[in-house]
Structure 1
Amino acid sequence: MTTKIKVMLVDDSAVIRQTLGQLLSADPELSLIGAHSNPIFAMRAMEQQWPDVLVLDIEMPGMDGLTFLRSLMRSRPLPVIICSSLTMSGARSSVEALAAGAVEIFAKPMMSSKEDLLRVGRDIIQAVKSAAKAKIVKQQQSGALNHAAQQQLLARATNHDQHDQARLLVIGTSTGGTQALEFILSKVPATLPPIAIVQHMPAAFTKAFAERMDHISAMTVVEAEDNQLMRSGHAYIAPGGLHLQVEKRGHELYTVVRDGPPVSRHKPSVNVLFSSVAREIGSAASGFILTGMGDDGARGLLEMQEQGAVTYAQDEASSVVFGMPKEAIKLGAVNHVLSLQEISVKLSKIRP
């Protein structure tokens, strides 16, 4: 008999607790072990039974969700999904929560009615199941390396290719990707070619995420808009709910941001970005697929590789979820498998 995933819900909305609690309880793979109105009650309950996944609101009276999350991540880390409002303050707090160790965000409906919640129930349940498979990466991953370790990483990253040049870098990621991107973008120089990024994230959160990345990176990081000239030293993050592609016009590259149906169950989709890069510039690009659930990006990365692009995947040890990299490797789409540390070194060496 398969062990059910133990889920705890913390939200000050009675409608959310009742309706979302019913959805979670009805799924045969899940067991709702508590639905609490604030973190104080949740902490008492967690002393008796520890959840596999915590679904956590951010903006609550008393102890807010962000403070609670940071306390948990210091004492006993576990997969946490953020349940957030679509306000700008909610988006910024949610991005801070991702930086503190949460693995996923889902957006509360604009109206917290039962009908609205039922419409997003499938996404909520899938987010919980994905989070249950996540590995919480220890903080030492982002710590400073000693000189010997830095030299080892530099040697390994340098030996993968005979050149370190590209017109464009593309990155695709999902669960755990916000921490991976923060790690990478905080370390790369402003001399890199343009970077196009798809991070699976709901609409209204990607702008706040781009603002945070811009603050910590030497590069200029923005939420991508349609028809932007792609410049060296700039990173373009696909907006939630829209697809990002790249188009070559003469000698220049431009962003193309469009609506459309989900591809590989996602919008934005990594496959959509990677396929456009394979079609438009082929071997002049390098592709990186990072931590994430599912197989989005594998087929697009193979298309890039078949057009001569050098392709990379994050290794299992440093991934929160080794789903997307594993599928790309299985498909034969990956030239090199690197740790997150090695990927940051490799990226830092690439020049336009």
Structure 2
Amino acid sequence: MSIKVLVVDDSPLIRGVLTEILNAAPDIKVVGTAEDAHDARDKIKSLNPDVLTLDIEMPGMNGISFLKNLMRLRPMPVVMVSTLTAEGAPATLKALEYGAVDYLAKPKVDVANALNHYKDELHEKVRVAASARVRAKTEKAISANVSHLIKLDSLTYLPNHVITIGASTGGTEAIKEVVKLLPTNCPPVVVTQHIPAAFSTSFAARLNENAKVTVHEATHGQKLVKGNVYIAPGDDHLTISRTIDGYICRLDKDAPVNRHRPAVDKLFDSVAVATKGRATGVLLTGMGADGAKGLLNLKNAGCHTIAQDEATSVVWGMPGAAVELNAAAQVLALQDITACMLKAASKAR
């Protein structure tokens, strides 16, 4: 059974190129195209696609407004296909907040040839989207987490402890839900999210606006301080090392690991070595297996390890791979992770 795709873009050229690229996959079939939100709404009803590819900038109702309405009325998997620039990053992050599963860069020049370079990536993202867990937004899970954290205000954290988090597809929102409830006295948190270089600055700034703690895009040599979160820049591996003054961030452009830079495994491995077991590792939603072996290395080093459960993951690839390796001491719903990782980092565990 082929994955049915509806391509939504105001450019006839882009619609044609995306249709050709997607139809080249034996298990994907473009069942229709739409030039604007009104056209898309009608064709979703008549064609019942499994996945939507959606541009952000369209005439009339833009892609973000259309997506917001769609996810409220008829939640379905959406892959944003739009120009990924630093200026456009907030809009794409907003699309992920509203429920888009993933995104792909639309090149600015020589569109037809350039898009063909992303053919395999687009096929993979559509396949993942087709199997992703897409649901309407609710406040229930967030409220549950708040009730947990009320009891954690007076925790005393273990000295020289670090919390480390890895994520990919669906991770920008999952990380936000974990970070937004962290108390200002929590141990330092280092994070690798698979994200383009143009997005990481906006992602860190957006997290900072939603959190009590201070969130940074990590810089080379930056010292880890309690009550602070450090996000790997897009296209840089983030690791940590121990100095006489404590832990510091290190950035490098070594070869991708598991096809990714930044890579979760690389961060987790460095935390296992630098902290000698004084860390808590958390692996959240994401496709692939990056971070699974790293989480196992953390566990073997004496660290407490947590994987997000299948029910609350957008894609249970990375955490699922960790569970298969028996790398996670706990497998938890997203709404329970903040409380449990803080307990693990405290003297109360």
By how many angstroms is 1:269 displaced? 1.0
Query: Against the structure 1 CA distance between its residues 146 and 274, is the aligned structure 2 distance closer, same or farther, given a 3 Å change threshold?
Result: closer
Query: What is aligned with 2:329?
Result: 335
Instruction: Report the Cα distance in structure 1 between the residues aligned to 2:157 and 2:128, rounded to whole angstroms.
Output: 35
CA contact (8 A) 1:287 1:304 kept: yes
- State whether residues 306 and 330 of structure 2, in contact with CA within 8 Å, keep that contact through their aligned partners in structure 1: yes
For the 8 Å contact 1:297–1:328, the answer to whether it is kept is: yes
For residues 297-317 of structure 1, the C-alpha deviation after alignment (integer angstroms, 9 at most, x for no partner) is 011111111111111111122
Cα pair distance change 1:21/1:275, threshold 3 Å:
same
TM-score, normalised on structure 2? 0.92
- Counterpart for residue 110 of structure 1: 108
SS in 1 for 2:251: strand
Alpha-carbon offset, residue 137 of structure 1? 4.0
Q: What's the CA shift for 1:351?
A: 4.9
C-alpha distance after superposition, 1:163-187 (max 9, x if no partner): 9636211101111112211211221
1:22-41 equivalences under 5 Å are 22-41=20-39
Residue 348 of structure 1, CA deviation: 4.4
Q: Read off the aligned partner of 1:201 and give its amino acid letter.
A: I
Q: Distance in 2 between matches of 1:14 and 1:339?
A: 43
RMSD, matched Cα: 2.3
Return the offset for 1:199. Answer: 1.3
Q: What is the CA deviation profile of residues 125-168 of structure 1, one whole-angstrom value per residue up to 9, with x for unaligned ones?
A: 11111111110144335442399xx46x999x9xxxxx963621
1:186 paired with 2:185, answer: no
**Aligned position for 2:97:** 99
1:247 paired with 2:246, answer: no
Equivalent residues in 2 for 1:82-93, closer than 5 Å: 82-93=80-91
Instruction: Please list the CA deviations of residues 315-351 of structure 1 after superposition, one character each: whole Å capped at 9, or x if unmatched.
Output: 1222112221111011121111111121121244445
Question: In the alignment, is the contact (CA less than 8 A) between 2:132 and 2:315 conserved in 1?
Answer: yes
1:309 and 2:306 are equivalent in the alignment: no
Q: What residue ranges of structure 1 are gaps of 5+ in the alignment?
A: 158-162
Task: Select which of 272, 276, 279 maps to 1:285.
Answer: 279
The aligned amino acid for 1:62 is G
Alignment of 1:155-194 (within 5 A): 165=158, 167-194=161-188
Q: What is the distance in 1 between the residues matched to 2:201 and 2:346?
A: 27
Unaligned runs of 5+ in 2: none
Which among 189, 197, 200 is matched to residue 194 of structure 2? Answer: 200
Letter in 1 for 2:49: P
The letter for the 2-side match of 1:115 is N
Identical columns (%): 40
Q: Secondary structure in 1 aligned to 2:87?
A: helix
Q: Report the count of equivalent residues.
A: 343
String of CA shifts for 1:51-79, please: whole Å, max 9, x gaps: 11111111222110000000001101011
- The answer to which of 138-147 and 61-70 deviates more is 138-147
**Which segment is superposed worse, 40-49 or 132-141?**
132-141
TM-score (norm: length of structure 1)? 0.91
C-alpha contact (below 8 Å) 1:107/1:202 kept by paired residues: no
List per-residue Cα deviations over 1:267-304 (Å, max 9, x = no partner): 21111111111122131111001111111101111111
Q: Which moved more, 1:223-232 or 1:308-317?
A: 223-232
Q: From the superposition, tell whether residues 282 and 84 of structure 1 become closer, same or farther in structure 2 (CA, over 3 Å).
A: farther
Larger displacement relative to structure 2 (88-97 or 341-350): 341-350
Give 1:113 shift.
Answer: 2.2
Aligned to 1:160: none
Classify the secondary structure of the residue corresponding to 1:232. Answer: coil
Amino acid at match of 1:58: I
Measure the CA separation in 2 of the matches of 1:138 and 1:40: 21
